[in-house]
Amino acid sequence: MASSSNENGNLMDEFEEAFQACLLSLTKPEPNTGTNKDEIELEVQKTTNRFIDVARQMEAFFLQKRFLVSTLKPDMLIKDENQDLRNEIARKEQLLNKHYSRLEEWKACLSDIQANQGVHNRPIGGVGSTIAAMSESVGMGATGMAGPAGLNIPQGPNRPGVGGMLSNMPAYGVARRF
């Protein structure tokens, strides 16, 4: 490790001092004296490099300690990983609950919109009366197509034809066509 600038050699104190010096050089107001821009840039570069060096030393120190802990006490590493996984699961469960609540809100909003559109767009007599009136006007009964001599041929959902198509359509889809 590099030699420390303070007397007790505490890496954390060095890190704090380097950080303060870096901030001071960046926030110092421009002097009106003979200091030129190049000198200021040099000082900022020097303090920033010092801060980066101390940060790297500190990172190396913590990595060494982490390596020692992982080799001497592997159970502590497993406990840490388990706790991290539990925290991640809890965070994801909260996120899922948030999404489910929003989904319920959107479903309620959508059902309200559909209910309001259904009320406003239906004909006065209702869809059933409109279909019956349309089929009567083209010569069909309410249950199917008119055959020869006015006989009604039944049409259901399982048999193709006008009656089968209309009986499978939703009520609000018949009255509205775009």
Domain positions in the chain are 1-72, 74-121, 125-175
pLDDT score at 159:
47
What is the token pair recorded at 67? 């390596």
3-state helix, strand, coil in the chain (%, to 5): 70, 5, 25
| Euclidean distance between CA atoms 94 and 105, whole angstroms | 17
Residue ranges in the chain modelled with pLDDT below 70 = 1-9, 30-35, 119-178
pLDDT score at 122:
57
- Alpha-carbon distances of 25 from 11, 13, 31, 39, 42, rounded to whole Å: 21, 18, 12, 11, 10
pLDDT score at 125:
52
Closest CA to 132 of 143, 123, 124: 143
pLDDT score at 9:
60
pLDDT score at 38:
81
**Which three-class secondary structure state does DSSP give residue 7?**
coil
DSSP 1: -
Q: Are 163 and 144 in contact (CB under 8 A)?
A: yes
